[in-house]
């Protein structure tokens, strides 16, 4: 599997790095703006509420009566206002000044909060100071005029506001950091997924290229094999004739016979290769497994007899839907492998079996030979892989290809008691009526 090239990986990582950096920077900027905006609007809220308190105080003290008298008569209302102010611990004081700027009424901080009363101190207000909010060193003073008779001043403590704003700031920063972290996690997941897709795509492309190259090479080789086959056949025929002629003149034709056998082997190799490289189409038909096995046994009979192999058939009734010729060819190939493998064996038994396994028909060629070394089991069906002297290594490759073309598979399994089971698993016929 070809991996994406290193420059592509580097570019991809660079792009991801830049993107992550931009994301972090934009979150930091966003957090800064957000914190600033929220702190400002919190302060505005507090000041607005302070203004409302000051206006309420001014309303309570309104009228034409002298301010001292009013303060005296509205004591109760003023202490209610004091209590309300006491609950808002950001408000430091509320004060009432007369028209000459002398302090007439003021809340004072006690342990129980703010309480109102006549001040001892002679705090004075600069007459003519602007209305609205005035920022001093430790407070924001909200000034509301009291018609022409004085001014109400509510002071919001900066020191009390600071920890609240700091808390608000911390919370906002925490939330933004969590949102940023989540966004980064999503980005990381997306990046990993995209990288996976890129890799898969690269692997698929590499595979496609390799398939195309192999297909081109295969077709070239098949054409070559096809061209070789005819002269080989002619050569074989001529060698046969030459051998016969030599027999007439001399008693031996050894060298020619050897040449003819070698040409025959070459011819078989070319034919096998052509079967492998140019598989014929599958012509499916319904066939009884037993019939196929019987046909195979008939073909193998003479070879088995010659090799002193006991051949048996054990077939349960099962109907296949397969290319009968191709399946018989595969079984013969598997059986020939078995016969070749049993040449050195003491007991030589070959069994052809058939049975159903769910929706599959199973055809087995079981022998009593040495089996296949387990480390080679995974490789024996590769084309041109052979452990046999003179073997071309195409028998199992062709069998595997034909099984797959039928929508089935070829399984190879060593038996615990010795020998190999070559198992062809094929689809059963779906229609129930007889063929
Ligand atoms: N029944 C078996 N018992 C033991 N070894 C086997 C058996 N069948 C196959 N093998 C091993 O698997 C190898 C590959 O088999 P395959 O039929 O593909 O090629 P081959 O028999 O070597 O050559 P050919 O193309 O002539 O069939 C064989 O060389 C053999 O070593
Ligand atoms: Mg073989």
pLDDT of residue 108: 62
CA of 398 to the centre of ligand 2 (A): 10
In a domain, 175, yes or no: no
- Distance from the CA of 356 to the center of ligand 1, in angstroms? 26
- Strand blocks (E) in 147-270: 150-157
H or E element in which residue 189 lies: helix 158-249
User: Does 320 contact ligand 1 (Cβ within 6 A)?
Assistant: no
Higher pLDDT, 203 or 1: 203
Reduced to 3 states (helix: H, G, I; strand: E, B; else coil), residue 390 is coil
What is the structure's pLDDT at 72?
A: 77
Query: Looking at residue 113, what is its pLDDT?
Result: 42
CA proximity to 91, closest of 130, 56, 67: 56
The burial class, CB within 10 Å (0-12 / 13-18 / 19+), for 64 is exposed
Q: Is 364 in the pocket of ligand 1 (CB under 6 A)?
A: no
Read off the pLDDT of each residue in 310-329 and give the average, rounded to a whole number: 94
The bridge status of strand 349-357 relative to strand 310-315 is parallel
Which ligand minimizes its atom distance to the CA of 393? 1
- pLDDT for res 196: 92
Q: Is 351 in the pocket of ligand 1 (CB under 6 A)?
A: no
Is the CB–ligand 1 distance for residue 392 below 6 Å?
A: yes
> CA angle, corner 225, sides to 223 and 227, nearest 5?
70
* Residue of 380, 420, 423 with the most ligand 1 atoms within 8 Å of its CB, for mutation: 380
CA of 387 to the centre of ligand 1 (A): 7
User: Is 415 close to ligand 1, i.e. is its CB under 6 Å away?
Assistant: no
Ligand 1 geometric centre to CA of 381 (Å): 8
Q: Which ligand is nearest to the CA of 272?
A: 1
Q: How many domains does the chain have?
A: 1
Does residue 221 form part of some domain?
no
CA angle, 165 then 168 then 172, to 5°: 140
272 lines ligand 1 (CB under 6 A): yes
What percent of the chain is predicted at pLDDT more than 70?
90
Confidence of residue 125 (pLDDT cuts 50, 70, 90): low
Q: HSE on the CB side for 431, CA within 13 Å?
A: 8
| CA pair distance 40, 34, nearest whole angstrom | 10
**Which among 272, 337, 369, 371 is the best mutation to test ligand 1's pocket, defined by most ligand atoms within 8 Å of the CB?**
337
- In degrees, rounded to 5, the angle at the alpha carbon of residue 271 between the alpha carbons of residues 267 and 274 is 140
Q: What is the pLDDT of residues 108-124, one digit of tens each?
A: 654 444 445 555 545 55
Q: Is 43 inside a domain boundary?
A: no
In Å, how far are 18, 47, 66, 150, 356 from 60, measured between CA atoms? 63, 20, 13, 13, 102
Asked if residue 142 is part of any domain, the answer here is no
Q: Is the C-beta atom of 387 inside 6 A of ligand 1?
A: yes
pLDDT at 107 over 80: no
Q: Which of 336, 342, 368, 396 to mutate to test the pocket of ligand 1 (most atoms within 8 A of CB)?
A: 396
**Residues facing 150 on adjacent strands:** 98, 146
Residues 359, 422: Cα–Cα separation, whole Å: 19
Q: For residue 19, what pLDDT is reported?
A: 87
**Cβ–ligand 1 contact at 420 (below 6 Å):** yes
Q: Whose CA is nearest to atom 17 of ligand 1?
A: 395
Name the β-bridge partners of 115.
Answer: 108
Ligand lying closest to the C-alpha of residue 387: 1
Q: 3-state DSSP call for residue 258?
A: helix
Could you tell me the distance, in angstroms and rounded to a whole number, from the CA of residue 253 to the centre of ligand 1?
32
* Segment holding 144, helix H or strand E: strand 139-146
**Segment (H or E) for 305:** helix 289-306
Measured distance between the N- and C-terminal CA atoms of the chain, rounded to whole angstroms = 46
* Whether the CB of 380 sits within 6 Å of ligand 1: yes
316 vs 289: CA distance, rounded Å: 8
More confident site: 252 or 171: 171
* More confident call, 382 vs 274: 382
Ligand 1 pocket, residue 395 CB under 6 Å:
yes
Dihedral (CA of 263, 264, 268, 274) sign: positive
CA distance 156 to 142: 8
Examine the pLDDT at 104 and tell me if it is beyond 90: no
Query: Number of C-alpha atoms within 13 angstroms, CB side, residue 335?
Result: 30
Which atom of ligand 1 lies nearest, measured to the CA of 338? 1
* 365 CA closest ligand 1 atom index: 1
Range of the domain at 410: 285-427
Torsion sign over Cα 207, 208, 212, 215 = positive
CATH number at residue 382: 3.30.565.10
**Does 65 fall in a domain?**
no
Which residue has its alpha carbon closest to ligand 1 atom 31? 387
pLDDT higher than 60, residue 17: yes
- Residue at 14 is within a domain: no
Treating both helix axes as pointing N-terminal to C-terminal, what angle do 289-306 and 324-341 enclose, rounded to 10 degrees? 30
Q: Is 81 in the pocket of ligand 1 (CB under 6 A)?
A: no
Which of 391, 402, 422 best tests ligand 1's pocket when mutated (most atoms within 8 Å of CB)?
Answer: 391
Contact 140, 155 (CB under 8 A): yes
pLDDT value, residue 112: 44
- Residue 219 covered by a domain: no
Q: How far is the CA of 335 from the centre of ligand 1 (A)?
A: 10
Token readout for 50 is: 């302070």
Upper half-sphere CA count for residue 392 (Cβ side, 13 Å): 17
What is the average pLDDT across 40-65?
A: 81
Q: Is 222 left (phi over 0), alpha (psi -120 to 50) or beta?
A: alpha
337 lines ligand 1 (CB under 6 A): yes
Q: Exposed, middle or buried by CB within 10 Å (0-12, 13-18, 19+), for 221?
A: middle
Query: Can you give the pLDDT at residue 375?
Result: 92
Give the per-residue pLDDT at 434: 43
Span 58-94, pLDDT tens digits = 887 776 667 777 777 777 777 777 777 777 778 888 8
pLDDT at 426: 94
Q: Which long-range contacts (CB under 8 A, 24 or more apart) does 412-416 make?
A: 412/372, 412/377, 412/380, 412/381, 414/371, 414/372, 414/374, 414/377, 415/366, 415/371
Ligand nearest to the Cα of 385, by number: 1
In a domain, 53, yes or no: no
Using the structure block, give the residue that is written with the tokens 């901080």. 109
């Amino acid at each position: 599997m070809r991996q994406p090239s290193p420059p592509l990986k580097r570019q991809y990582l660079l792009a991801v790095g830049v993107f992550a950096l931009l994301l972090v920077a934009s979150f930091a900027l966003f957090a800064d703006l957000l914190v600033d905006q929220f702190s400002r609007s919190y302060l505005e809220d507090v000041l607005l509420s302070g203004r409302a308190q000051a206006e309420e105080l001014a309303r309570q003290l309104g009228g034409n009566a002298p301010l001292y008298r009013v303060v005296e008569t509205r004591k109760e209302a003023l202490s209610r206002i004091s209590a309300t102010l006491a609950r808002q611990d950001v408000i430091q004081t509320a004060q009432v000044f007369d028209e000459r700027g002398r302090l007439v009424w003021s809340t004072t901080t006690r342990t129980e909060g703010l309480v109102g009363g006549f001040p001892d101190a002679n705090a004075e207000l600069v007459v003519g100071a602007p209305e609205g909010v005035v920022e001093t060193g430790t407070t924001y003073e909200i000034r509301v005029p009291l018609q022409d008779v004085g001014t109400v001043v509510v002071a919001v403590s900066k020191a009390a506001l600071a920890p609240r704003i700091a808390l608000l700031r911390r919370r906002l920063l925490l939330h933004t950091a969590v949102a940023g972290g989540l966004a980064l996690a999503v980005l990381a997941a997306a990046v990993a997924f995209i990288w996976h897709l890129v890799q898969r795509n690269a692997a698929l492309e590499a595979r496609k290229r390799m398939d195309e190259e192999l297909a081109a090479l295969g077709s070239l080789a098949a054409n070559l094999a096809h061209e070789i086959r005819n002269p080989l056949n002619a050569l074989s025929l001529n060698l046969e004739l030459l051998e016969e002629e030599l027999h007439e003149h001399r008693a031996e034709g050894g060298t020619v016979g050897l040449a003819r056998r070698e040409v025959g082997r070459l011819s078989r190799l070319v034919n096998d290769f052509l079967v492998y490289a140019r598989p014929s189409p599958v012509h499916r038909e319904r066939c009884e497994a037993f019939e196929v096995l019987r046909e195979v046994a008939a073909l193998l009979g003479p070879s088995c007899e010659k090799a002193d192999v006991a051949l048996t058939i054990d077939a349960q009734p099962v109907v296949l839907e397969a290319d009968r010729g191709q399946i018989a060819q595969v079984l013969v190939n598997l059986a020939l492998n078995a016969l070749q493998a049993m040449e050195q064996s003491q007991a030589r038994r070959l069994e052809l079996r058939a049975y159903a396994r769910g929706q599959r028909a199973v055809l087995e060629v079981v022998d009593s030979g040495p089996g296949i070394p387990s480390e080679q089991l995974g490789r024996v069906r590769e084309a041109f892989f052979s452990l046999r002297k003179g073997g071309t290594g195409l028998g199992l490759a062709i069998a595997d290809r034909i099984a797959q073309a039928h929508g089935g598979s070829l399984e190879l399994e060593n038996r615990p008691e010795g020998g190999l089971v070559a198992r062809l698993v094929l689809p059963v016929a779906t229609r129930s009526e007889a063929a």
